[in-house]
Amino acid sequence: MKRPCTEKIPPIQVRVYTTAGNLVADLHLDEPIVVRKIKNKLVPVLGVSRYRQTLLQDTRLLDDNDKIRRTARLQVVRLNYIPTSTDNIRQLIDASFENSESEVEELLSKPQDVNACLPGTAYPNTANGTTTALQAAASANNAHILKVLFQAHADVNRDGNDRALSHAASQNAEEAARILLQHRANPNTTGRNGHTALLYAVSGGYHPLATLILAARADPNQGNEPTRTPFGVACQNNDEEMATTLLLARSHVHTTRHRPPHYEYNTTALCAAASANCVSGLRLLLETSIHVDSQLDAPALWYATWNGRTEAIDFLLEQKADAEKRLLHGGTALSAAAFQGHNAILQKLLHHCKLQSETDANVLQEPLQLAMWSNRPETAKLLLDAKANPSDAHSNANLHRIRELRRYQYTWPLEALLPTTDKLRLYQYLQDSQTQAQSPDTSDSSSEQEHEP
């Protein structure tokens, strides 16, 4: 029977020198080592990734998979990047997006700059519109490729790469986002359209991803300039769980929407919830001591009315929302209902208005004018029945705001909206007919009231 070998393997000493003859590493090993691992050990000493290193042994070029089995003297050469071109950047982007590790390794070993970004003149037409390899790998949630790119010294906060987290968030690539954040990606960097990673996660309803980004100290109040904040988007999407998460992260509930080029009101989260008919969101917001009639340009009731959100309107009226509250630009929720022709909603609002005198009825003047100019006779009839005064309905006092409301709704020739004399006569006829039809009942009720003690 053959006895097992008990002879001790002699230690392996590997010395690595620069081309100038300077010793950079003196390794004492107990077992053979592959060249790739030697390169990794040289990274902190040389300050370059293993892809920019070449090891020579007696003028022989060593492959990354070669093994050093005995004491050796090696020479390391630091390589410069090859000239950057649009073609080689696209190759690395496509390989990273398609999860082709061998091709990525081959391209990086040329060596190619891992941080190179497609120039602005080269429109990205592949890989989800990404412009760097890091963006492409993040967008496709290729976690292993991301690790390879970071081994090649990808800089997550360099121009171009800083949008990788937003690309990951837009595709719900949670593992990719986790790796990027572990490498200190800035969660508040915005993409070209102004979206942050958090805004993408909230818009998509990606709850675990949003929680991950918030844990990395993302600003919950940072929105994209032309539209909204994450909290407003969560309310707009009727996403109570996301809205609650953002509230716990101390989101501001009164952050404004910036004005876009066209006519639109500044909004709050309360307004967004009302617009989306999100009663649970409204309830949640009002529990945080927000007043039901709080507004920047328009209160929540106006938004719910404009968009025809019946359930939200019922809830807001139950919470004592003021149907006669005027907007900062003038007008009321009654005006929105009349302009849009939401007759059932208009009846609800009228029921909650105090119309005891002619002065009180002045609040109906503008809604009547809007109904006429919007060619809504049934709406106008409701207002006339509620004692709106038709004599001033042809006034041009609110012409500018009506023009802007129309622009807010859709483009329409203003001349087509002007009320004609025939229309005014028709509305007056409807009012007179209604008055005559109700006059007997009115007389009877008056007589009964006179005989009451």
| Whether the domain at 12-78 and the domain at 82-193 fall into the same CATH topology | no
What pLDDT does residue 41 have? Answer: 95
Residue 35 φ then ψ, to 5°: -60, -35
Between CA 76 and CA 47 the distance in angstroms is: 13
Q: Where are the domains of the chain?
A: 12-78, 82-193, 220-322, 333-437
> Smallest Cα–Cα separation from 90: which of 120, 130, 139?
130
Share of the chain residues as helix, strand and coil, in percent rounded to the nearest 5: 50, 5, 45
> At CA 185, angle to CA 182 and CA 191, rounded to 5?
145
C-alpha pair distances (Å), 235 with each of 54, 171, 282, 307: 56, 21, 8, 15
Six token digits for residue 346? 């208009």
Q: What is the pTM of this model?
A: 0.63
Between CA 400 and CA 418 the distance in angstroms is: 12
Between CA 210 and CA 201 the distance in angstroms is: 5
How many C-beta neighbours within 10 Å does residue 99 have?
16
Report the length, in residues, of the chain: 453
Fold exhibited by the domain 12-78: Ubiquitin-like (UB roll) (3.10.20)
CATH 1.10.357.140 for domain 82-193, yes or no, is no
What pLDDT does residue 339 have? Answer: 86
How many C-beta neighbours within 10 Å does residue 144 have?
13
Between CA 193 and CA 266 the distance in angstroms is: 20
The answer to whether the CB of 398 falls within 8 A of the CB of 447 is: no
C-alpha pair distances (Å), 67 with each of 131, 288, 406: 37, 66, 76
The answer to whether the CB of 385 falls within 8 A of the CB of 435 is: no
Q: What is the pLDDT along the chain (453 residues), one digit of tens a residue?
A: 556 655 566 789 999 999 999 999 999 999 999 999 999 999 999 999 999 999 999 989 999 999 999 999 999 999 999 999 999 999 999 999 999 999 999 999 999 999 999 987 777 666 778 899 999 999 999 999 999 999 999 999 999 999 999 999 999 999 999 999 999 999 999 877 788 999 999 999 999 999 999 999 999 988 775 457 888 788 778 787 888 788 778 777 655 544 433 334 455 677 777 887 888 878 877 876 678 887 766 788 988 998 899 999 999 999 999 988 887 666 789 988 988 899 999 999 998 887 777 777 778 888 888 888 778 888 888 888 887 776 655 555 555 556 556 555 543 333 333 333 333 444 444 444 445 555 554 444 444 444 443
CB-based contacts of 376, cutoff 8 Å, min separation 6: 338, 341
CATH superfamily of 220-322: Ankyrin repeat-containing domain (1.25.40.20)
What pLDDT does residue 453 have? Answer: 36
What pLDDT does residue 262 have? Answer: 36
> Smallest Cα–Cα separation from 115: which of 173, 166, 79, 156?
156
Three-state DSSP at 53 gives: strand
What pLDDT does residue 232 have? Answer: 79
